[in-house]
Amino acid sequence: MKGRPGSLSAGRSVMGRLVMSRLGAAGFSLVFVIVTIFVITSALPGDVADTLLGQGATPEATARLREALHLDQPAWLRFWHWAGGMLTGDPGRSLLTGHPVSELVLPRLHNSLLLAGATAAVSVPLALAAGLACAMFRGGWFDRIVTFLTLATVSVPVFLIATLAVFVFAVQLKIVPSLSDIGSIHSVWQFIRVFLMPVLTLTSVTVAQMVRMIRACMIDVLSAPYIEMAVLKGLSPQRIVLLNALPNAIGPVVNAIALSLSSLLGGVVVVETVFSYPGMAGLMVESVAARDIPVVQCCALVFCVAYLALTTTADIVGIASASRKRDA
Amino acid sequence: MRDLFALRRKIPPGTRRILTLLSAWLLLALLGPMLAPHPPGEIISGEVFGPVSAHAWLGTDYLGRDLCSRLLWGIRYTVAICMMSTALSCCAGIFLGIATTVTPVWVERVLGRLMDGLLSIPSLLFALLVVATAGESAPALILTMAIIYMPGSYRTSRALALRIVRMDYITAARARGETRSFIILWEILPNMTDPLLSDIGLRFIYAVLLLSNLSFLGLGVQPPMVDLGSLVRENILGMAYGAPAVVVPTLVIALLTVGINLTLDRGRV
């Protein structure tokens, strides 16, 4: 069959083009991110050598450090070496300890992924259930309570929820330690005890955001004419949401979930610090406080790549679901 | 001028509510420290994490300083820094957002790509990067947050302006031979103020959240200055006793952000 306008293959090629252009934009954003990270950390006023050695440093010591850090080279050459190193998996050495940055970052990255995975595993089903229930009983007491709670949660800083969790579970109930010690995990119960509070905090933030977005998606789909038809046929609201609306809302809902997961990042930074969780965000905050620039750069790049991957996935799912709707 | 007066009469209730709330916080930030019963750095009691009393209205902090006075100063710094950065980011974002609807297409292409690039760096991460090199000074914080929230404001105002620029009265203004800046300032902008205001309110909340998180991490406002986030940070040990020194600043942050968000939400529904 030749591809007529409006036929399946024509729809596919339009979709392919949209996806390619979205991937191109992501590629541009990646380059932008790499350049921006370098510019902010290297070109802003303030000499790293001066900052590191403090005011009492002799000029010779500063000069030697500047040479060791290649600060005497022009900016574009430093950028070339730095970006090349980053892309080939050699992000340099820590200014503080002298260890290779990759040795510092990799175990921390593993821990962070563990935390993010646990959070996603808990929050996605929970948010789906709550979001769908809100759409089913829209305007009812459940919907109103959830809407208020999620609004309150997304509009307070993450550390507020984290400190509240510490207060309730570690100070009042004394059932969990207030610090996360991954080394002491030997059983499932210990695993739960260590992860409970960080995951709980992150989950409440993520779920709140997802529920708001999922609810909005569902309500958008529920305003379609075929839903009105189903209502007129006398179907129950539960049946309509699950069987008529949900299949058509999967694209936007997955999009919403991916976007919420990408905004998890700000939460991770705070949560890892509050609970002394040995993850990458914690490492980054420590390195920022110590002005250990190579570690900061590497952490920032890893985070940005993860963020970019999630937002791009969200958009591509959105494009795919929109084009499916066009085909239908 | 006549446009402005006509606008004032037509302010919808949602917009009026949010304006009232924002000006109340601004007033508290301006006048609050004058009402403070003690200097913010003075140790007034030997008792740390003291309870509420006639001498210390909201108890004392981890050094025995008056929490009420420190809170009033903290509100000033939080509100001032966040309002300034919101004003900067929204002025730039709104102007550019509207301007790109009346300028040649390539301007939008370039600018839009740049804004997308900025949007692909998570806000807290961006702030951490700047703090790592430029330090934690207040101007650096304001400028950083202004840059972080500009792309969002740009996108919203561009989307709003795109709808307006197709209207007949814009075509009429063009036919009259009005300049671009006149069309931006007097034809497009006055017709999108209400949705813009709720966008500005939202960005102010984001700024408060970001600043509080930064200060809580110890990478935002530095002593002897104090903001709401650093108040929570320095008194965090009082959590174990449920001291007002840590509970009250937390509540004030929640009051600020949830209050504005609820007001915006009511306007939206």
Give me the DSSP letters along A197-251: HHHHHHHHHHHHHHHHHHHHHHHHHHTSHHHHHHHHTT--HHHIIIIIIHHHHHH
Work out how many domains chain B is built from and give that number. 1
What gap in Å lies between CA A159 and CA A82, rounded to an integer?
34
Whether B244 shows a pLDDT value over 70: the answer reads: yes
Task: Check whether B150 has a pLDDT greater than 50.
Answer: yes
Residue B88 located in a structural domain = yes
| Cα–Cα distance, B136 to B113 (Å, whole number) | 29
* Predicted pLDDT at A176: 66
Residue B202 has pLDDT above 90, yes or no: no
DSSP line for A45-94: SS-HHHHHH-TT--HHHHHHHHHHTTTTS-HHHHHHHHHHHHHTT---B-
ipTM score for this prediction = 0.79
Three-state DSSP at A162 gives: helix
pLDDT at residue number B269: 42
* B5 belongs to a structural domain: no
- State the pLDDT at residue A324: 64
Q: In whole angstroms, what is the distance from residue B240 CA to residue A167 CA?
A: 7
Q: How many CB atoms lie within 10 A of CB A5?
A: 7
Residues of chain A above pLDDT 90, percent: 1
Q: Would you mind telling me the total number of residues written for chain A in this entry?
A: 328
Asked whether residue A21 carries a pLDDT value surpassing 50, the answer given is yes
**A58 against B227, higher pLDDT:** B227
| A240 within domain boundaries | yes
Tokens encoding A270: 């705070």
Asked whether residue B8 is domain-assigned, the answer is no
Helix (H) or strand (E) holding A180: none
Is pLDDT larger for residue B40 or for residue B196? Answer: B196
A48 CB neighbours in chain B (<8 A) are 133
Please list, residue by residue across A210-227, b when 16 or more beta carbons sit within 10 angstroms of its beta carbon and e when fewer do.
bbbbbbebbeebbeeeeb
Q: Would residue A65 count as lying in a domain?
A: no
Closest-CA distance of chain B to residue A40, Å: 6
**What does the pLDDT read at residue A38?**
86
Subunit contact B128:A284, Cβ cutoff 8 A: yes
User: Does residue A68 belong to any structural domain of this protein?
Assistant: no
Q: Could you tell me the two tokens for B25?
A: 């916080």
Set of chain A residues whose Cβ sits within 8 Å of the Cβ of B254: 152, 155-156, 160
Query: Is A183 a domain residue?
Result: yes
CA B227 to chain centre: 14
CA atoms within 13 A on the CB side of B78: 35
Integer Cα distance of B238 and A268 in angstroms = 24
Tokens of B19: 């304006």
pLDDT at A9: 57
Tokens representing B61?
Answer: 């902090």
Average pLDDT over residues B155-161: 87
pLDDT band for position B81 (50/70/90)?
Answer: very high
What is the average pLDDT score of chain B? 83
Residue B57, SS3 per DSSP: strand
Minimal Cα distance from A274: which residue of B?
B217
Q: Enter the tokens of residue A27.
A: 């590629």
Is A67 a domain residue?
no
**B151: cis peptide before it, omega within 30°?**
no
Contact across the interface for B125 and A265, Cβ inside 8 Å: yes
Provide the mean pLDDT of chain A.
79
Beta strands (DSSP E) in B60-151 are none
Cβ A166 vs Cβ A127: under 8 Å: no
**B9 assigned to some structural domain:** no
pLDDT at A68: 67
- For residue A273, what are the CA distances in angstroms to A123, A209, A266, A296, B25? 21, 22, 11, 15, 30
Mean pLDDT of B57-78: 82
- Rounded mean pLDDT, A104-117: 87
> For residue B253, what are the domain limits?
14-268
Q: pLDDT, tens digit, for every residue of A173-197?
A: 776 666 666 666 666 676 777 778 8
Q: Which one-letter amino acid corresponds to residue B170?
A: I
| Inter-residue contact A134 to B221 (CB < 8 Å) | no
The answer to whether residues A288 and A132 touch, using CB atoms and an 8 Å cutoff, is no
Would you tell me the crossing angle of helices B244-268 and A141-154 to the nearest 10 degrees? 120
* B7 found inside a domain: no
CA distance A250 to A246: 6
Q: Is residue B217 part of a domain?
A: yes
The count of other CB atoms within 10 Å of the CB of residue B254 is: 16
Tell me which of A11 and B194 has the higher pLDDT. Answer: B194
Structural domains in chain A (count): 1
CATH of the domain at A84: 1.10.3720.10
User: For A215-273, how does the pLDDT look when each residue is reduced to its tens digit (9 = 90+)?
Assistant: 888 888 888 888 888 888 888 877 888 887 887 788 788 888 887 877 777 788 888 88
**Residue reference for tokens 């007529």:** A4
> pLDDT per residue over A274-308, tens digit each?
888 888 888 888 888 887 888 888 888 888 888 88
Q: Which two tokens stand for residue A275?
A: 């609970």
Residues of A in contact with B218 (CB under 8 A): 289
- Give a yes or no: residue A60 inside a domain: no
Which whole number is the average pLDDT over A69-81?
75
A163/B125 Cβ within 8 A: no
pLDDT over threshold 70, residue A93:
yes
In a domain, A317, yes or no: yes
Check: CB of residue A272 under 8 Å from CB of residue A245.
Answer: no
Tell whether B250 lies on the interface with A, counting CB pairs under 8 A.
Answer: yes
Q: Domain range spanning residue A211?
A: 5-43+74-327
Tokens of A192: 């739960």
Residue among B117, B129, B261 minimizing CB distance to A41 = B129
Identify whether A121 is part of a domain. yes
For B93-128, what is each residue's pLDDT tens digit? 998 888 888 888 888 888 888 888 888 888 888 888
DSSP label at B231? H
Of the partner residues B125, B133, B257, the one whose CB lies closest to the CB of residue A156: B257
CA A130 to chain centre: 21
Provide the pLDDT for residue A2: 42
User: Which of B111, B120, B144 best tests the A interface by mutation, with the highest count of A CBs <10 A?
Assistant: B120
The three-state DSSP-derived secondary structure of B98-117 is HHHHHCCHHHHHHHHHHHHH
Cα(first)–Cα(last) distance of chain A, in Å?
Answer: 18
Q: Is the pLDDT of residue B199 over 80?
A: yes
Residue B247 lies in a domain: yes
Distance between CA atoms of B180 and B187, rounded to whole angstroms?
10
| CATH code of the domain containing B110 | 1.10.3720.10
